[in-house]
Structure 1
């Protein structure tokens, strides 16, 4: 084999190796960029006060509103449709809150709006929700001075405001499962990395062997 043929063969092998590396790396990067935190609609409920009655009313409203909206939006995969449906059902949310207040004989006023609302930084599993203004269904009951609770309505991912509020049903179990899942995913990533290193070394060995044959 002449010198020019050897050079072309070497270039071809290098391109082959680089193509394989790109094929492995690009899907992983795509997965990391797959989630956009801004494309969400949250629910925030401000209780009238921290009295037992006001906090219970907040929990009852939370459960009813969350279940109602989740049923409406879980079939959608884009925030525009979810926003439209929520706006169309504000009257239904008013009815839910009014009924829950009436059940305990409360004469507190309330206000429901879909608007930009301030939120603190929160971590849920491997996802970080930075502090800032986010679109949310905001329910203010009475003076709105009690502990608050919030969750992500769309995509459906409700969880506790860890500084204030009360846990939803089975939340402790769900959080534990989320932690276990995250640890398992991390182990799988580490195993994949080891496999990639092994395959990379294998390719290097093959490449070296072929080069020795070409130049030998």
Structure 2
């Protein structure tokens, strides 16, 4: 083999491997970005029961609470500041809940608090909020035995869930995650075949 051919082959190999690594890193970054529990405040509303009426009450309270809290935190970037504002205005959230119940002529008990609460995994595009304990605005209606609603209140992302229906369960999130992984793996396989074809062609040009 000529020295020039060896140098050419070596340089081509280095450039190709660097390109491959860059593509893999880019695919990994595009796959998801994990958000820490220290960066988010979530909302959880537990309905009294699974009856149509109780679920409708839950959704009405959800909508009004989200609109009000979004006004408070929309321009904020610091979680601690957002938490302090919510903590200081819990009475206003209670007033919203009471007003909704009054409009519906319901004498239903409720509690409103800002506390540590367990949440399942949640996906917003490529943003992953992993399962775990989050600071959350927790609203419990009546017995709190009905299907609950959860979303990310800070930064304001609840409107995303509202546009797509009820919040996604962890199992559904897992399916979406697996689909994304399959897409990335398929891209890697296609890239691998490209490199095989490339080096086969290069080898034939040099030694063929």
Give TM-score, length-normalised by structure 1: 0.64
Higher relative contact order (CA 8 A, sep 6+): 2
Is 1:60 equivalent to 2:60 in the alignment? yes
Q: Gapped runs of 5+ residues in structure 2?
A: none
Q: Which moved more, 1:21-30 or 1:66-75?
A: 66-75
Q: Check whether the contact 2:122–2:131 (CA below 8 A) recurs between aligned residues.
A: no
How far 1:30 moved relative to its partner?
1.6
What is the Cα deviation at residue 85 of structure 1?
4.3
Return the alpha-carbon distance in structure 1 between the equivalents of residues 136 and 191 of structure 2.
43
- In structure 1, distance between residues paired with 2:121 and 2:7: 54
Higher radius of gyration, 1 or 2: 1
Give the CA RMSD over aligned residues. 4.4
1:102 equivalent to 2:97? Answer: no
Q: Which moved more, 1:150-159 or 1:187-196?
A: 187-196
Counting matched residue pairs gives 198
**What is the correspondence of 1:50-199 to structure 2 with a 5 Å cutoff?**
54-75=54-75, 79-80=79-80, 82-119=82-119, 121=120, 131-142=131-142, 144-153=143-152, 154-155=154-155, 156-157=157-158, 171=165, 192-193=187-188, 196-197=191-192, 199=194
Aligned partner (choices 195, 208, 212) of residue 207 of structure 2: 212
Question: Could you tell me the TM-score, scaled by structure 2's length?
Answer: 0.66
